Structure formats: structure tokens, C-alpha cells
Chain A
Amino acid sequence: MNQQLFRAQYGTAIDHAKPLNFKFNGKAYVGYEGDTLASALLANGVKLVGRSFKYHRPRGIMTAGVEEPNAMVQLRTGNRTEPNIRCTQVELFDGLEASSQNCWPSVDFDVSAINNLLSPLFPAGFYNKTFMWPTSWWMKYEHRIRKIAGLGVAPIESDPDRYAKRFAHCDVLVVGGGAAGLMAALSAGKSGVRTLFIDDNAVLGGALRDSVETLDGSPAREWVESIREQLVQMKNVRMLTRTTVFGYYDDNLLLACERVGDHLNQLAPGQPRQRIWWIRAAQVVLATGSIERPIVFGNNDLPGVMLSSAVRSYARQYGVRCGDNAVIMTNNDSAYHTIPALTEVAGKVLAIVDSRPNGAGKTALALATEHGVEVINGSVVVNAKGGARQTKGLTSVDIHPYAEGELGEGRTIECDLLAVSGGWNPTVHLFSQSLGKLGFDDKLTCFIPKTSVRPQLMAGAINGEFTTQSCLTEGANVGRLAAEKAVAGKEIALHTELIGLPTCEQVVENPIEACWVIPLAKGKKAKRFIDFQNDVASSDVALAYREGYQSVEHLKRYTTLGMGTDQGRTSNVNGLAMMAQLSGRTIPEVGTTTFRAPFSAISMGAIASNETGESFMPLRRTPMHDWHVENGATMVNVGLWQRAQYYSRAGETMMDAIYREGKQVREKVGIVDVSTLGTIELRGRDVAEFLNRVYINKWMKLPVGKARYGLMLREDGHVTDDGTTTRISEQEYYMTTTTASAGPVMSHLEFYAQTVWPELNVHITSITDQWGGMALAGPDSRKVLEKAVDDCDVSNDSIPFMGYKEATVDGYPVRIFRITFSGERAYEIHVSSDYALSVWEAFIREGKVFDIITYGTEALSLLRIEKGHIVGGELDGRTTAADFGFAGMQKTEEDFIGKRSLDRPGMTDESRKTLVGLISENGEAIKRGSQLIEKLGDTPPVKMLGHISSEYYSSNLQQHIGMGLLEKGEQWMGKTIYAASPLTDTYVPVKVVNHVFIDPNGDRARG
């Protein structure tokens, strides 16, 4: 049943013909299309929305926008639930469900409300002071504190919605859709430049939405609509509503979040919920308006105490009466406009309490007189009162005359609404994010932009222009100026059509007079809140002052003032003013902190946008990828590559499969996909010289048709990668690198070719994707190769070890390299990628009679450890060629990268760790990452002689084996030491042996 008792048949933003059902704290309500959750709750008489962060005090709706510090709710349910959502920003939709957060068992009766009674025991800094000892208990404290001071619940299931991302470029970006922003966008648009116009709300107009002013003789909202229509017609203008610009970064990069589907119950297929915009703007016009600030007095957080502008918004836009009997407290003229707004929705304003001795200007005063409202000048509200538990909200206010810091005799007025206006703070957050400097304007009693460091202009209330006329004028001028600046220096002619300014009413105002923190009446006690979201009261600021935290940065961190998700929009200036008052300084002397992105909270989904899953980390697939998947391979990510880890057969475990694969390669033949190896083509007259300088060994005499193994060092002498390079023709070389080092090696080579040795004629091209590769390994590999190739001699004489030959397989041209990673007789067959699958299948087909198997990366790893080949575990950036026993490879006469570093004392130290093999002596597995120690039982710290770099169970040797780097490795040969892994409590006795476990003479590989 529609029980919107506080709703009038009025409201420019809502459609009374379209009721919407929603639930709050499990109870069903009805609102209208166009409502926010806040306006719908107020229309239904719901004043108590949540509990405060620290003291669990009852809190209601205070504002009508992004500055709301109190009314945060848990929105939606299940995997779409989201905590800490301001109900002032939630557009109502049919079926919406929301609940209060930070309360138990209910918002009406919250057990933790006892914190309020105990509040004298935990002021600012309480947690830091109290829970420091003993340190080890912090984890216990933290759990409880987090539970009590909770901020809603994050969903534990994945977010089912879709998020999107869009880049945009423009000449002029206008942020803010109020009077100044509209005129700036119109002016820039009519100049002909690319204009992007963004507003946070669904409906344009800013403060004009709450206004009954006339512009060019029409109601303000009609004028707004006419401007909107003009902008829509302009092809050079893009308009985004429901979009918050939340970040302002270097080079005029701004980020915005468009709430594409947040106002919908259900998204259409493919429709994103939110979209992040990455905007590059030549010029930015900030027309972000201003935010009304409260005045600090006793119990100013009671439900029913609201900002005056919010009361006006709810009345005018939503037809909502925020209270039946209202009192207004102000220090400026703007609050007087709330009188007619509230009266229009059948509310009664009992009195307007103006702190200024001389009260309001003519226009404002006329509004009070016209509606028969008592005006109490030179007075303030000192204290607000509620019921016993204060959950029913405001019941009365105490009003006292106030002059020169002294309170006079007070009186009480019973009321259920107090509308407060302490003046206006320009919304300078984006300006501040852009590193612009603020200055304090004493007349306006607020900070305004002073010095820009980015290509930007400000228009309207952000500049302290608070009248409609001045906003319109400044918007029009700034829009044109921004367009001119954006095209300055370019051969672009702006359109010369100038826009006319609408006529509007002239307002005569009395100036604002500062009113920050009202003292309490003598003998009275009450909390006076400055930061509502973080429960920071005036007493906390006073404590910070007494304890020496007087710098604005200390004040912020000690009290958490302004550190909530509202970024202190309603609290910062009041906090600074109080500190200024206490310390005898001016507000600018106290200073300001820096606002940081995001301006308002952004969902994690929006930040990730569409770049999740494989779109976040795109996978690379080899040409044989689908074959592996279809033939039982378990795939594994190796960097970005997907590789076959092993191929399971029925009933096999992973280790069964790996041991079988490893054994079959040693005994018969196997084939593995090695397309992921980095492949680099080097062409040019000077490639041999280039390689001679890059590798530690000699390259000048490598003949065509031969491959050679090489090691590359960094400039510091440590090994960076190893691999083979084959001379394909006189000026063409084919280099392979490890999979992981493909990119770094390419960069390494390019760096030297382009910047160090530009005189060498060498061109380097990555051809990893051009070629698919497969390694055919095992005693029968030659037989399979012979059967598969088309009429080609593959004998040992024709393709000897480290030889190279071109042939065809089923008509496909292939490159055959006689190189081995497993230590067995082996051939790497490389073929253009589009043909690779066909060639792979040909080898499988022809290898069947030889019981060929496919093997994966695990067996590959096992085989290479058995053979003692080095890879990433050994090439850890700390090892030299000599550490691996390759000192003899190093050229002595000629230079190469890293050579000079090899003479440094640390590189020639006799105690360096060298590569050794290790065999488990008790049959236990050697743990990866184990440290090598001499013996067990020594008192810590135990000297660590080295570490395990690779380990596996060798199915061929039937032993647990490993490789490691051991201090003076040669001296330990044949001795037993221990592989110690304290983390797993494993201590395995290992015998130190040569690191080549199988075929140390290389007979298999060469045979």
C-alpha cells in the first residue's frame, strides 16, 4: 500500500504515475520513478537510516547528494550486493532492496549503541593508545574492532555484471551540468570544438533543479531543457549524464565513471552496469559547483537535522516534506529560499535563526515575511534534542542569542526538522587533485581555486560565484575561452557565433558571516560533530590540539577528520576553523590537506572494466594448442603461453603420466611442442661480429648449416640467458632463447644493435610467432624423422649433432635442427605456424609404429634435470659462466658483453657457489627451495652453503635428484650434506655429485 505520508502531489523529478516497489530493512515501501532511495525513504517517513561508525549513534539523511556522510546502506542482495552506498545517490528502481549497515540486531535497537554511553572512554587516538600492547594481541583486537566498526559487507561471490571501458578525446571537457557548466558547454560547443560535457546526475541543471527562478522568462528547468536540446543537436558535443569525474591526473587525463545500468532492475544482454571513461582533454572547464556546509552545535547528528539545500531539493524535486514543523538555522541568505520550498509541500517553518546580527538581505527577508516565519537574528541553535534513544529523531532545539562568542538566555522550540546552512564550500576536489593551489576567501568564508597548473579553467560556484547571473556569465565566457585555448596554435577557425546570456532575476543579498562551532550552554554536555562519517567531534579536535597535533596533516591523521569515503565534504572547513580558533591562527594558516582520487567511491568492477580473465592476461596459444587439449593434455600457463603440462591416460595420476613420458623418451621416442621458445632472426652483413660481442664464446667461424650453443652475460658479468643460434645462410641466423627470456633477450639485442653498435649492419626481428616448433627426442627419433620427411637423408653424417637441414614433411617445408634439451638424440623441427599442426600430426602418424608419445613441460623438466641443463632456477641473475663450469667457453682475446666485470673480486672469489648435482640418500624427495647445510644439529644461525635450484624424481634413475648451487662445489664431490627446508620441516641427506646424471659424455645426443 502506498503510504507516502510525507509526499505532496509535486516534484519536478518524479513521475507520480509510475510507482515503484522497494524494500528497506526487509519492509516494503513505494516510491516513484525519478526518486532517489533517500527521497523515497523520506517520503515514507523513514528518518533513521543507519548507525554511526564509532559510537553507533542513530543517523538519518542529512544531504541530497554525493556529500552525504550518514545515510550509507547495503544495496541489493546476493552476489550483486554492495556496501557503503549513499542512498542520496541511488536512483530508485522497481524491486530495489537495501538495508542499514553497522548495526545489530537492527537499526532501531543496536547493541553496540552502548559505545555512545562509553564514548568518554575512547576519544580520538583511543585505538592507537590502547591496543599497542602486547603487540602479538593486535590480531585479536583487530578482529573485534573491525566487527564493531564495520562498514557493510562485501560480496563473497563473483560479480555477475559486466563493466566497460571507453577512451575519449576532446578539445574541451566541461565537468558539471549546473548553470555555469551548461553555458560553458554551449559556448564551447557553438565554437565548433570537440566538447565533452559530463554531469553527475541523471538530470541536468545542478542547483537550478531546486530553483523557482525564471530565465528568459521561463522556469529554470525549462531553460535547462532547452539548452540540453541544443547540445544534443550539436555533432561536436558528446553529453554524459549519470557520470562522475572522479580522478584528475597528469596531462589532463581525467577518469569518469558512467552509471549505465545502476538505475535499472535488470540489465539488457551485453549492457554494462558501469563504464569507465579515460578522457584526454586539451582544456578542462571545472564547473563543479559547491556543497553546503553544516554548523557545529550540540547533537547536530540527530535524524531530522539536515542541510537546508537538501530540504529544498527534496521538496522541489521530489515533493517530499522532510518534516512537518521546521526551524532553519543559517549564517547566509540562501537558507531563506527553503521557506517557500517547504511550504509548497505543506511543511511549516516555525522560525529562521540567523547568526548574523543584521540578518538577511531584502530578497531573502521578503520570503520569511511573506510566509509569516519568525526571524530570530543574532542567534544560533545550541543544542538539538531527540527522544530517549534518539531513534525517532529530532523533537526540539535550544536557541540562544549569540554575540562575540557568548551565549545569551535561551528558549526551546519544538520541531521535527532543523535545516542548517553554514555557507558554501566550492567543490574543489578535482582542482585539488590536479595539483591546483587553493586560497581562502575571507568574505566568502571558503577555499576557492587560486593557481592552476594544468590547462584548465573554472566557472561558477567553484570560483565563489554563488548567484545564477554570475554563474551564467562566467560559464559562457569560460567555455569560449577554453575553446580558444584548445585550438591555439592549430589551424582551426572557431565559429564566431556568440551565445546570448539569459535574463534572470537580480538578487540583493547580505553577505555571509562566519559561524563555525557553537559553544554549549553552561553546564550542558553534548557531542558536537564535525565529521559525521568518522564520528569526529569537536572534543576530538580539542584533544588533538592539546596533544600537539596542530598541523592540518596531524589533525587529519590523529582524529581521522575527513578520512571517510565522503572525503570530509561537509566537515573539513569546520575542522580547520575550530583548529584555527583553538590555536589562534587563521584558517589559511592552518592550511588544507590534498584531495585525492577518487572523488567518490568507484566499484572494483568498474576499475577492472572489461579487462578481466583472459582479457586481463591474454593467453598465447601455440599452433598445436587445440590438438593438445583434444588429446588429454593438462594445460599450464607459462608466462602468457599455454603449454601442455602432461598427457593423462586412463587411470593415471599426474606423476604416473610424467614418469611414463620421461621414461618413454629415454627408451623410445617422444615429441614435445616447443613453439613457445623465443625465436629471433638476425640478418645483415655483420651478424657474426654482433654475436661474437653478445655471446661469451666464438662466432666468427660458424659455418652455414651449423648451430652453436651460447651464453649471454649482462654488463655485470652474470648470465642472462642461454640458447642456440644457427647459421641458415651467409647473412641469416636463427636464434632460440628460453621461453621466459624471449622478450628480454630481444630487448637486450635491440639495445646493443641500435645504441651501442649502430655501425654494425644487423637487423633483428622476433619470429617466434612465425614458426611452430616441436622436439623429437629419444633413441628412435631418427627413425621417426626418416619416415616422416619427404625423401631426405637424415643420417648422422647428413644431420650431425648441432647440424641443420631443410626438408619437407608431407610437402610442408621444415627446418631441422639437431639439438637436444633432453640429452637424447633429438631434432627440433621448426615449421611456419600455419603448417605446424599438420607437421605435428604427420610425426604422430609416422611415429606410431615406434610407440611415439607426446610429452609435456613436466617431463621436459625432468629430462633436462637428468641431463644437467640449466634453466631459470639456475639462471637466477646471480650466476656466472664459471659457476656452471663454462669458464672455458669464454673468449680470452676478444671482448664481449660483461667480460670486464668478470675480473671483479666477487666474480673470482674461490668461495663462489658452483653448480652441482645432488642425490637423495634416504629416498625422500628434496624440497624445492631447500638450503644446503653441512650437518644437522648445529645451533642456529647455521651456515648455509648453497641452495637447491631444481629437483625431480627421476623415473629413469629411480632416485630423487636435484641441482644446486653450492659454495666451492667441487670440494664437496662425493660427500653427504643436507637439503634443509625448515618451512616444511624436511631435512634430506644428499650426496654431492656431478650435475650431469645421464650420459655425461654426450654419446646419446651425438649418436
Chain B
Amino acid sequence: MADIQTSIQRKSALKQAADQPSDQAPVISIDGLNITEYRPQIIAQINGATESSTLQIALSTVGFNAEQFNAAQFDSGHVYSCDEATVLWNGPGMWMLVCENASRTNMVSELNTALQDTDATVTGLSQSRTILEMEGEKLLDFLYTGCPVDLDNCPPDSCFSTQFGHFNIMLHLKDSQHANMYVYRSFGQALWEHCQHVVEEFE
């Protein structure tokens, strides 16, 4: 079974986007903050990649190399990005590969084949998350309405699991004005509505 089907329409978890083409994502926009849905083609969870070399095997299998990510090696606690993909550390030996490239429809299978001689495995999670892309000068104030982490002290491209209000989220804080918030797909609509409610305070 192919991991993704590029020829057919995917439906967002967000009600506002349900009948929209995927390139017309819903937007929450106020002065100083924009929130929109980010829908990558592929999300693959790589488990058991405790060594940087294992991750490099995985990435090279699907056409990436460490240089693209400006990384000599992949260290835990970091996020590595290039034009087509982002690799987020999300636990010991756990990396989430978020990829834009729609041509690799069997990426998860290919990765598992490539890693079969290692202790690592890959699980396809492409449709398991709603990702909210946020940017603007009010980003940190907005996040502080529900996130207890000291965001001002986070280095660029931090990634951590935390809470936003009563939502369990994974936050990729790119810098003080850019972040991606990952939440389980089933919570997507509720999180979107929560964001709509919270931004009213900043209007």
C-alpha cells in the first residue's frame, strides 16, 4: 500500500478548510500574528535511531544528506531544516521527518527497508497531526497564554512537547516570531477554535 496518494484530495481536520483545496488554508490573522494550517505531504516517525549515523542512513535513503541540513551530525534536542524537509528530535532516539516532497509516495516503506539492519523503524504519521504555522511579533505573547515553557530562553529551532492551554502539543519554535504547533489531528478543530478565541485578546 502506498503511503500517500498524491492524486487525490486530502481533507483537513479543520472545518474551515474541509472543502478548500489544500493550498487555500484557513487563516487567523490579527496585527502582529498570523496562524494558518501547514500541511506537509509526509510525516514519518523514526524510532530507535539513537545514533546520528542511523538517521543519516534513513535520510540518504530518501535523497537527503546531512549537508543539506547544515549538520555534521544530528544531535538530540535539535531541529534540522532544509527547503524540502524538517527533522525534529522528539524523544530519545526518536525523530520526526516532516517532508514536502510529494513524489516519494512510498517513503515510509523505503525507510523501513533501508533501516532493516538497524534497530530503528519508521511509522507513517502523515495524516495524524494538525500543524498550525504561526508567525508575527506577538507570537510569544500569544504562546504564553497557554504554554508554560520559558520561550524567551529557547535557542532558535527548539522542539519540545508541552501544553498549550489544555492541549498536548509539540512545538517547533523556529525563532521568536515563527513556530509550528503540532497537535493530534482529532484535536485540530478544537485547537483552532481555541486559538481563534485567544487571539481576540490581542486584537
Whether the pair A167, B48 counts as a contact (CB closer than 8 A) is no
Whether the pair A620, B190 counts as a contact (CB closer than 8 A) is yes
Instruction: Determine if B61 is an interface residue (Cβ-Cβ < 8 Å).
Output: no
Residues of B within 8 A of A622 (CB): 186
Partner-binding segment picked from B66-74, B78-86, B141-149: B141-149
Partner-binding segment picked from A108-116, A153-161, A185-193, A806-814: A806-814
- Asked, given contacts A618-B191, A619-B190, whether A683 binds B5 with beta carbons under 8 Å apart, the answer is no
Residues of A within 8 A of B48 (CB): 684, 761, 763
Instruction: Determine if A120 is an interface residue (Cβ-Cβ < 8 Å).
Output: no
Partner-binding segment picked from A434-442, A764-772, A855-863, A984-992: A764-772
B190 closest partner in A (C-beta) = A618
Instruction: Determine if B198 is an interface residue (Cβ-Cβ < 8 Å).
Output: yes
A834 closest partner in B (C-beta) = B10
A residues 733-762 in Cβ contact with B at 8 Å = 761
Of A278, A615, A625, A675, the contact of B166 (CB 8 Å cutoff): A615
Q: Could you mark each residue 128-139 of chain B with 1 if its beta carbon is under 8 Å from any beta carbon of chain A, else 0?
A: 110000000000
Of B112, B120, B125, the contact of A765 (CB 8 Å cutoff): B125
Whether the pair A165, B186 counts as a contact (CB closer than 8 A) is no
Q: Could you mark each residue 828-848 of chain A with 1 if its beta carbon is under 8 Å from any beta carbon of chain B, else 0?
A: 000011110110000000000
Instruction: Determine if A617 is an interface residue (Cβ-Cβ < 8 Å).
Output: yes
B residues 104-154 in Cβ contact with A at 8 Å = 112, 119-129, 141, 144-150, 152-153
Residues of A within 8 A of B144 (CB): 166-168
Whether the pair A769, B5 counts as a contact (CB closer than 8 A) is no
Instruction: Determine if A716 is an interface residue (Cβ-Cβ < 8 Å).
Output: no
B149 closest partner in A (C-beta) = A167
B188 closest partner in A (C-beta) = A621
Whether the pair B167, A618 counts as a contact (CB closer than 8 A) is yes
Whether the pair B8, A832 counts as a contact (CB closer than 8 A) is no
Instruction: Determine if A169 is an interface residue (Cβ-Cβ < 8 Å).
Output: yes
Of A280, A763, A815, A833, the contact of B128 (CB 8 Å cutoff): A833
Instruction: Determine if A614 is an interface residue (Cβ-Cβ < 8 Å).
Output: yes
Q: Cα distance A162–B202 when bound, in Å?
A: 13
Q: Could you mark each residue 756-794 of chain A with 1 if its beta carbon is under 8 Å from any beta carbon of chain B, else 0?
A: 000001010101111000000000000000000000000
Query: In whole Å, how far is A470's beta carbon from the nearest beta carbon of chain B?
Result: 35
Whether the pair A838, B147 counts as a contact (CB closer than 8 A) is no
- Asked, given contacts A280-B150, A618-B187, A620-B187, whether A812 binds B5 with beta carbons under 8 Å apart, the answer is yes
A residues 268-283 in Cβ contact with B at 8 Å = 269-272, 278, 280
Whether the pair A626, B8 counts as a contact (CB closer than 8 A) is no
Query: In whole Å, how far is B129's beta carbon from the nearest beta carbon of chain A?
Result: 7
Query: In whole Å, how far is B76's beta carbon from the nearest beta carbon of chain A?
Result: 16
Of A168, A614, A813, the contact of B190 (CB 8 Å cutoff): A614
Whether the pair A169, B197 counts as a contact (CB closer than 8 A) is no
Instruction: Determine if A616 is an interface residue (Cβ-Cβ < 8 Å).
Output: yes
Instruction: Determine if A400 is an interface residue (Cβ-Cβ < 8 Å).
Output: no
Whether the pair A165, B5 counts as a contact (CB closer than 8 A) is no
Residues of B within 8 A of A169 (CB): 150, 152-153
B120 closest partner in A (C-beta) = A763
Instruction: Determine if A610 is an interface residue (Cβ-Cβ < 8 Å).
Output: yes
Whether the pair B128, A165 counts as a contact (CB closer than 8 A) is no
Query: In whole Å, how far is A429's beta carbon from the nearest beta carbon of chain B?
Result: 25
A residues 922-947 in Cβ contact with B at 8 Å = none
Residues of B within 8 A of A164 (CB): 145, 201
Of A641, A684, A835, the contact of B10 (CB 8 Å cutoff): A835
Whether the pair B125, A767 counts as a contact (CB closer than 8 A) is yes
Residues of B within 8 A of A165 (CB): 145-146
Whether the pair B8, A835 counts as a contact (CB closer than 8 A) is yes
- By the criterion of a CB under 8 Å from any partner CB, how many residues of chain B are at the interface? 57
Query: In whole Å, how far is A157's beta carbon from the nearest beta carbon of chain B?
Result: 21
Q: Could you mark each residue 179-203 of chain B with 1 if its beta carbon is under 8 Å from any beta carbon of chain A, else 0?
A: 0000011111111011001101111
Whether the pair A167, B194 counts as a contact (CB closer than 8 A) is no
Whether the pair B186, A763 counts as a contact (CB closer than 8 A) is no
B152 closest partner in A (C-beta) = A169
Instruction: Determine if B176 is an interface residue (Cβ-Cβ < 8 Å).
Output: no
- Asked, given contacts A765-B47, A765-B123, A765-B125, whether A835 binds B1 with beta carbons under 8 Å apart, the answer is no
Whether the pair B126, A811 counts as a contact (CB closer than 8 A) is no
Whether the pair A767, B5 counts as a contact (CB closer than 8 A) is no
Whether the pair A767, B190 counts as a contact (CB closer than 8 A) is no
Instruction: Determine if B7 is an interface residue (Cβ-Cβ < 8 Å).
Output: yes
Q: Cα distance A280–B7 when bound, in Å?
A: 50
Instruction: Determine if A226 is an interface residue (Cβ-Cβ < 8 Å).
Output: no
Of B9, B126, B166, B193, the contact of A770 (CB 8 Å cutoff): B126
Whether the pair B121, A683 counts as a contact (CB closer than 8 A) is yes
Residues of A within 8 A of B200 (CB): 162, 269-270
Select the residue from B18, B165, B203 with max chain A CB neighbours within 10 A: B165
A253 closest partner in B (C-beta) = B148
Whether the pair B167, A833 counts as a contact (CB closer than 8 A) is no
Query: In whole Å, how far is B141's beta carbon from the nearest beta carbon of chain A?
Result: 8
Whether the pair B121, A769 counts as a contact (CB closer than 8 A) is no
Whether the pair A806, B1 counts as a contact (CB closer than 8 A) is yes
A616 closest partner in B (C-beta) = B166
Whether the pair B5, A618 counts as a contact (CB closer than 8 A) is no
Q: Cα distance A249–B198 when bound, in Å?
A: 27
Q: Could you mark each residue 810-830 of chain A with 1 if its beta carbon is under 8 Å from any beta carbon of chain B, else 0?
A: 011101000000000000000
B residues 1-58 in Cβ contact with A at 8 Å = 1-2, 4-5, 7-13, 15, 18, 45, 47-48
B47 closest partner in A (C-beta) = A763
- Asked, given contacts A280-B150, A833-B13, whether A618 binds B194 with beta carbons under 8 Å apart, the answer is yes
Query: In whole Å, how far is A274's beta carbon from the nearest beta carbon of chain B?
Result: 12
Query: In whole Å, how far is B122's beta carbon from the nearest beta carbon of chain A?
Result: 8
Whether the pair B128, A681 counts as a contact (CB closer than 8 A) is no
Q: Cα distance A806–B109 when bound, in Å?
A: 15
Whether the pair A765, B1 counts as a contact (CB closer than 8 A) is no
Whether the pair A610, B165 counts as a contact (CB closer than 8 A) is yes
Residues of B within 8 A of A626 (CB): 15, 18
Q: Cα distance A813–B109 when bound, in Å?
A: 15
Whether the pair A617, B166 counts as a contact (CB closer than 8 A) is yes
Query: In whole Å, how far is A30's beta carbon from the nearest beta carbon of chain B?
Result: 33
Q: Could you mark each residue 600-641 of chain A with 1 if its beta carbon is under 8 Å from any beta carbon of chain B, else 0?
A: 000000000011001111111111011000000000000001
Q: Cα distance A619–B2 when bound, in Å?
A: 31
- Asked, given contacts A164-B145, A269-B200, A615-B197, whether A769 binds B11 with beta carbons under 8 Å apart, the answer is no
Query: In whole Å, how far is B39's beta carbon from the nearest beta carbon of chain A?
Result: 9
Whether the pair A832, B47 counts as a contact (CB closer than 8 A) is no
Query: In whole Å, how far is B203's beta carbon from the nearest beta carbon of chain A?
Result: 5
Q: Cα distance A229–B103 when bound, in Å?
A: 59
Q: Cα distance A523–B151 when bound, in Å?
A: 69
- Asked, given contacts A278-B148, A615-B166, A761-B48, whether A641 binds B186 with beta carbons under 8 Å apart, the answer is yes
Q: Cα distance A272–B193 when bound, in Å?
A: 17
Instruction: Determine if A194 is an interface residue (Cβ-Cβ < 8 Å).
Output: yes
Residues of A within 8 A of B127 (CB): 769-770, 832-835
Q: Cα distance A168–B186 when bound, in Å?
A: 29
Query: In whole Å, how far is B180's beta carbon from the nearest beta carbon of chain A?
Result: 17
B191 closest partner in A (C-beta) = A618
Whether the pair A270, B203 counts as a contact (CB closer than 8 A) is yes
A residues 673-708 in Cβ contact with B at 8 Å = 675, 681, 683-684
Instruction: Determine if A265 is an interface residue (Cβ-Cβ < 8 Å).
Output: no
B144 closest partner in A (C-beta) = A167
B141 closest partner in A (C-beta) = A166
Instruction: Determine if A731 is an interface residue (Cβ-Cβ < 8 Å).
Output: yes
A-B contact pairs, 15 of them (CB 8 A): A162-B200, A169-B152, A169-B153, A270-B200, A610-B198, A611-B146, A619-B187, A621-B13, A623-B185, A769-B184, A770-B128, A811-B8, A832-B127, A833-B127, A838-B9
Interface residues of B (CB under 8 A from A): 1-2, 4-5, 7-13, 15, 18, 45, 47-48, 112, 119-129, 141, 144-150, 152-153, 165-167, 184-191, 193-194, 197-198, 200-203
Given contacts A169-B152, A271-B201, A770-B185, 16 further A-B contacts (CB under 8 A): A168-B144, A169-B153, A615-B194, A619-B190, A623-B185, A626-B15, A675-B186, A681-B123, A761-B48, A763-B47, A815-B1, A833-B13, A833-B127, A835-B8, A835-B10, A838-B9
Interchain residue pairs A-B with the least CB separation, the first 4: A270-B200, A834-B10, A763-B47, A620-B186
